[in-house]
Chain A
Amino acid sequence: MTTNNDAFIKRDRLRFTKNKLSSNLTLLAILINAFYFVSVYKCDVGTYYYKWFIGISVLYNLVFMLVAFLSSEGVKSYNIKYSFPLIAIGILQVVRIFILPLQAKNAVITLDGVEQAVMEDGKFFYQSILLVASGVLCVIAGVVNIIKAQTLASHQAQIDKETKGSKS
């Protein structure tokens, strides 16, 4: 079974090693998302955030982390099904920029008769970068898993074919 063909060996390694790259990228995305929500809830001014969408935001963060964590485990074993939720939540991370951080950036609140920006520009950019980063990581993890899973499947099919051929 062993061969000197490096490309073949590289593909063959997939049969026995886990997809740690996708898994680790996803875990990193979760970490970055954690930085995002700590930052976004920290910059509340007055009671601006105490609206219905803050509840949904908290809930979504939990859903994001749950889906991302489960997917990080799923992609470890080259399960292609887990790539799709990963790509989806990755795209949603970018969409999120236009909901909470952007609304907070545009909002002005009056405290003790003084008008005040809810979120400064610097914080908005920081949070946007975090969301983009975690989203991109999720998408990359998903795409890498699709490529690796397909490579593994075709490699396995080739091996099965060779084994069948040698048996008959």
Chain B
Amino acid sequence: MSDLQLQHLDKIYDNKVQAVFDFNLNVRHGELIVLVGPSGCGKSTTLRMVAGLEDISAGNLIIDGKDVTKMPPKDRDIAMVFQNYALYGHMTIYENMAFSLMLRKENKNEIHQKVLSAAEMLGLSDQLNKKPGQLSGGQRQRVAMGRAVVRTPKVFLFDEPLSNLDAKLRGATRREILLLHKRLNATMLYVTHDQTEALTLADRIVCMSMGHVQQVGTPLELYDTPANLFVAGFIGLPPMNFFDAEVKNGEVVCNGFSVPLSAEDKAALERYEGREITLGVRPEDIVEGGKISVDVFSNENLGQTTLVNGTVGKHRITCKFREWCTYKPGDKVNVSFNRMHFFDKKTTDAIRL
């Protein structure tokens, strides 16, 4: 396994559309990096550039200290797992897993041992004589992973591997990928639009939007200290509530309510006195009891928690309470904020000390 460096990568298509802008990332040996972002943000394009399936318009791709920018995909020693599995339907699972090694003309006994050990690791030992059509979606995805594992590549690439699976299977397969990463201590690059996958799997997350990297950091960093409005809104479920606000005399004044600032927040917002900012509050940072009155319009019980949707002044708000609530439309509930995030109105960057 090896280090991976993406240096100033750009992707410009023939029709002059630029999909990726100045992508920089250093992936350490054994690290699992998740590229996350909405559809069309350039995350899959970046992955395909690493795989060699897309030409790199500018920049360098370094694997293990070696520049592979112009190298064809087969020589990069990279294995990719696709969303649609890309298995050969006429071959058995054993043959599918052994195929790439056969092409390399490796010793047949060694291939056999590699396939059996990968199958055992992935719980596929009893399925080796079956065809892909006889397996469930989750099993097929495990075969696709097995096909990558047997090659012991320098880097594993995953392109939304769980998107075709139902919610239950997705959770189970996600845990298997995590286990696989721990066992192999492999360098992995994983693309998803699902933030739950990103938060649970990643050592570090790269959050992308419109071809630009918005923030790189650990899942906790992205959740706790989002770099800008986009990351704040994208990471977290339900998403963060945003309010147009003004900083006035040590308070944040919004339409319908105002919140006094802590000493730390005051210091951070000193230069914004009298200016408009965006206030962000995560639904889970809102608690019952306080001076902010919410007009409830829906109450969603999720078992352990309740999502209460309502309005405060002109703003919509979603609160995530830790108990079973039975608010009805038209009810009023008083809330307060445990924690707040502030963003510059113009640049959308987070405001911090």
Contact = CB atoms under 8 A, between A and B. Distances in A.
Interface of A: 1-2, 6, 9-10, 12-13, 15-17
B83 to A, nearest CB: 27
B128 interface: yes
Interface stretch (B16-24, B107-115, B188-196, B291-299): B107-115
B116 interface: yes
Contacts of A1: 116, 120, 125
B112 to A, nearest CB: 5
A156 B126 CA distance: 14
Nearest to B128: A16
Given A6-B109, A9-B112, 12 more contacts: A1-B116, A1-B125, A2-B113, A2-B116, A9-B109, A9-B113, A12-B116, A13-B108, A13-B109, A13-B112, A16-B115, A16-B128
15 contacts: A1-B116, A1-B120, A1-B125, A2-B113, A6-B109, A9-B112, A12-B116, A13-B112, A16-B94, A16-B95, A16-B112, A16-B115, A16-B128, A16-B129, A17-B95
B117 interface: yes
B92 interface: yes
Contacts of A9: 109, 112-113
A2 B117 contact: yes
A13 B110 CA distance: 11
Interface string B93-104: 011000000000
A1 B119 CA distance: 11
B282 to A, nearest CB: 50
B112 A12 contact: yes
Nearest to B93: A16
Contacts of B92: 16
Q: Which one of B109, B120, B128 has the greatest number of beta carbons of chain A within 10 Å?
A: B109
Interface string B54-94: 00000000000000000000000000000000000000101
A100 B169 CA distance: 66
B143 to A, nearest CB: 13
A12 B128 CA distance: 13
Interface string B108-145: 11001101110010000100110000000000000000
A10 B113 CA distance: 10
A160 to B, nearest CB: 14
Q: Which one of B95, B112, B117, B120 has the greatest number of beta carbons of chain A within 10 Å?
A: B112
Nearest to A4: B113
B345 to A, nearest CB: 62
A1 B128 CA distance: 14
A16 B109 CA distance: 12
Nearest to B92: A16
Contact of B94 (A2, A6, A10, A17): A17
Contacts of B94: 16-17
B6 to A, nearest CB: 37
A10 B107 CA distance: 11
A27 B253 CA distance: 84
Nearest to A8: B109
Contacts of B125: 1
A10 B92 CA distance: 18
Query: 4 closest A-B pairs (Cβ-Cβ)?
Result: A16-B94, A9-B109, A2-B113, A13-B112
Nearest to B129: A16
Interface in B135-177: none
Contacts of A6: 109
Contacts of A10: 109
Contacts of A12: 112, 116
Contacts of A15: 128-129
B277 to A, nearest CB: 62
Nearest to A6: B109
A16 to B, nearest CB: 4
A9 B117 CA distance: 13
Nearest to B114: A2
B9 to A, nearest CB: 41
A1 B120 CA distance: 9
Contacts of B108: 13
A152 to B, nearest CB: 12
A124 B145 CA distance: 58
A10 B111 CA distance: 11
B134 to A, nearest CB: 15
A62 B297 CA distance: 79
Nearest to A9: B109
B126 to A, nearest CB: 12
A5 to B, nearest CB: 10
Contacts of A2: 113, 116-117
